[in-house]
Amino acid sequence: MSTTNTLNDWFATPPGKYLLECEQALFDHSVTDIFGFNALQLGLAEHDFLRASRMPLRAIVGNETEVQVRLDMDELPFECSSLDLVLLPHVLEFNAHPHQILREVERVLRPEGNVIISGFNPRSLWGLGAFWVRRRTSPGVEILLLCRD
């Protein structure tokens, strides 16, 4: 069973549904006023966190079967400085090479582009429990909005 399926199974539970609704609201609020032309969501294709974005080109990509473009997140097939917004919903904590993903995101992001990262807080009680159970998902989530200068 993949970590994406495990995460989606957890999102189907009552605490997971509650968290997913909160995350969707936070993503909707965060992406609404970010302007540009190209937006990308890496992973979690079952959930469109770009739905409130006004950017004309929005794509959900990743290594899942439901994505619009299937790719390896460690090597993004996009030109340098070509994207205005990149969303990483729970991508970094469930990938073997999170630093490589961040390097690739930095490479493809335009100057003054934005990256929004959501993930479980590893220092929360839920996060510590997840650490001991091989990173199973839990409801202590943080969303970060970063701007590249």
**Domain range for residue 34?**
3-147
| CA R_g for the chain | 15
127-140: average pLDDT: 47
Residue with tokens 């097939």: 77
Please work out, in degrees rounded to the nearest 5, the angle formed at the alpha carbon of residue 115 by the alpha carbons of 149 and 121.
120
Quick one: DSSP state of residue 143?
E
Q: How many structural domains compose the chain?
A: 1
User: What pTM did the predictor assign?
Assistant: 0.80
54-87: pLDDT as tens digits: 999 999 998 887 888 888 888 999 999 999 999 9
Q: What is the largest CA-CA distance in the chain?
A: 42
For residue 48, what is the domain's CATH number? 3.40.50.150
Distance, CA of 49 to CA of 44 (rounded, Å): 9
13 conformational bin, left if phi > 0, alpha if psi -120 to 50, beta if neither = beta
